[in-house]
Chain A
Amino acid sequence: MDIGLFTIIIFDGLNYAATLFLISIGLTLVYGVLRILNISHGGIYGLGAYMATWLTILLLNKGLPPYLSYFMLLVGAVIIGLITGPSIERLCLRRIYGSDIHIQLLMTFSILLILEDAMKLIWGVEPWFMSEPYILLGQFSVGQIVYPRYTFLLIGVSASFGVFLVWLVRGTRFGKLVVSVIQDREVSVAMGINVGLIYTVAFTMGALSAALGGAFIAPTISVAPGFAAEVVVMSFAVIAIGGLGNLEGAVLGSLIVGLARALAIHTFPELELAVIYLIMLLVLAFLPQGLFGAVEERRI
């Protein structure tokens, strides 16, 4: 492999890893706190992408300075996160805590179906393009390789959101409450912790992560319906490799999956998805709890 291709794979890999991390950290946080795999995560991602694109186009059409578009991406993500998060948690998930796993999976799956069509009904089925934030930052070159600077922004947003979540869980009073709710829900209620509120906030953080992922990847792709399932499957691979519910595991998981995907796309594009699952299966075959997951006792 020549050095040029190698550099491209590394950059592409980091690019994918940053996006994947931004999305999966929310999925793993929700699983960690609520013990529910939120399949509708992919739908929230899609909504985030559409909202951000729509707001930015609105802004550009008004003739406002294009540098504000970064702010609009953020605003779009926050709007979607704050609408979908609490409403899904309060209206649907709240009724099925403690139900069988298959009921929880089916419920979040049906929410995914609803969100998929909600996107089409609001923004139509034609793809949307909005690449200003991507183009504005220009490009840089390493050797003969020219690469967009937007990648750094993506990595920056992803890393700061990750640090923010880790700080929230590890460094604040809220985080301590979350940990106690994870440890023992009933005792937490008895101690006067508002468990319902903790769940809502944790789920909203998860939704925000998906929406941010969608919003900041939107300038680099054409936003069209139909990718929600792929997103949730990929981020599941990430968090399964890292260990379900483990925040640090998501970092390593997304790096592994991101680099593997870049390698596959540049060498065997047909195998793109297959490679990711091969890695995931290999990891799970030897470490069923993922790389960082705690060993779970068997259900009796």
Chain B
Amino acid sequence: MRPNLRVLSILSALLILVPLVVPSWVVFILTKALFTFIAVLGVALFLRGGQVTFGHALFFATGTYTVGFSVKWFGFRETLLLVPMGALTGLIMAAFVGLIMARYRGVFFAMLNLAFSMILYAILLKLYWVTGGTDGISVGTATFLGFPLPAGTYPFYYFTLVIAGLITYVVYRFLASPLGYFFRAIADNEIRIEYSGESVRRVIYLTYILAGGLGGVSGVLGAFSVGHVVPEDAYWVQSAHFVFIALLGGFEGILGSLMGAVAFEFIQTYSSKYFPYAWQLTLGGIMLFIILFRPGGLWAIYESLASRFSSKTEGSTHG
């Protein structure tokens, strides 16, 4: 997949400059959008291969509780080390769960992921002497090389932005690798993958591990951004948010997930202001609309607009 450089540069310029001129609550929302985007990338990876996961919060919660335990047991809040730690715990979790998951596709893949995340949720809820139960663990303020990095401020925002940029690059490289193309091919024709000399299980397993690592990183940033980790991080509603964003943004282009994440945060903010009791109804309704009428999500809308305006200079921007 070829990186769409024009969109990339416009989006990064926006993400770097916009926070300087908007009120601070928008900075907080953009931070949330960025770390959610990292987790959604994992869900979008699966969707490109025609697989749905209703349990990606499993890895998000792995990341948040990595921070939770690190703070609770060691009082350690150094983001520069905790972000790789979160990636590692996410990878390890995915390496174990993936052993089972690599055997399944379609309905089973979706439901088993949901099952695993609900098991983690139940464990986090019930082992309250370790996890604090429903109260969760308060993680306080992150540090960066010893300096405090309070949530909702510019330093934390730009730190998250840098991590998100690195992750985007990693995922681009993955999608451009043979493995990335093979995973995409699972949706079309599995047997041809094996004819090409690649094991389908290996492709799913490695993609699963990558997605797990992304979830872990996202969890670490999420924990510090919210300042609190709770069992709900692993709950199916959290997974539903990830799936919603992947679908809203459209999973054909990576940056679709970013558009989706930003749009989602604003929808959530305004929806909880105007329809506080109909949040899931709003999500479900928008999802139904996208599935029925705009299956490519925001990304496809952007692409059709872009090709309409610049059909003279370049062809389709499909990757």
Contacts and interface: CB of A to CB of B under 8 A. Distances in A.
Interface of A: 37, 39, 92, 95-96, 100-103, 105-107, 109-114, 116-118, 120-121, 125, 229-230, 233, 236-237, 240, 244, 269-270, 272-274, 277, 280-281, 284, 288, 298-300
B281 A281 contact: no
A40 B292 CA distance: 17
B107 A117 contact: no
B284 interface: yes
A277 B113 CA distance: 11
Given A105-B107, A117-B280, A233 B114 contact: yes
12 contacts: A100-B187, A107-B287, A111-B288, A121-B277, A229-B118, A233-B115, A273-B119, A274-B122, A277-B119, A281-B112, A299-B190, A300-B191
Given A105-B106, A244-B107, 18 more contacts: A102-B50, A102-B110, A106-B287, A107-B287, A109-B287, A110-B288, A113-B283, A116-B284, A117-B279, A118-B281, A229-B114, A272-B122, A273-B115, A273-B119, A273-B122, A277-B112, A281-B112, A288-B103
A144 B108 CA distance: 43
Interface string B208-219: 000000000000
B247 A229 contact: no
Contacts of A273: 115, 118-119, 122
Given A109-B54, A237-B115, A277-B115, A121 B278 contact: yes
Contacts of A240: 108, 111
B189 interface: yes
B132 to A, nearest CB: 15
A290 B103 CA distance: 14
Contacts of B281: 113-114, 116-118, 121
B240 A270 contact: no
B52 interface: yes
B150 interface: no
In this complex, the member of A92, A116, A121, A269 whose beta carbon has the largest number of chain B beta carbons within 10 angstroms is: A116
A31 to B, nearest CB: 8
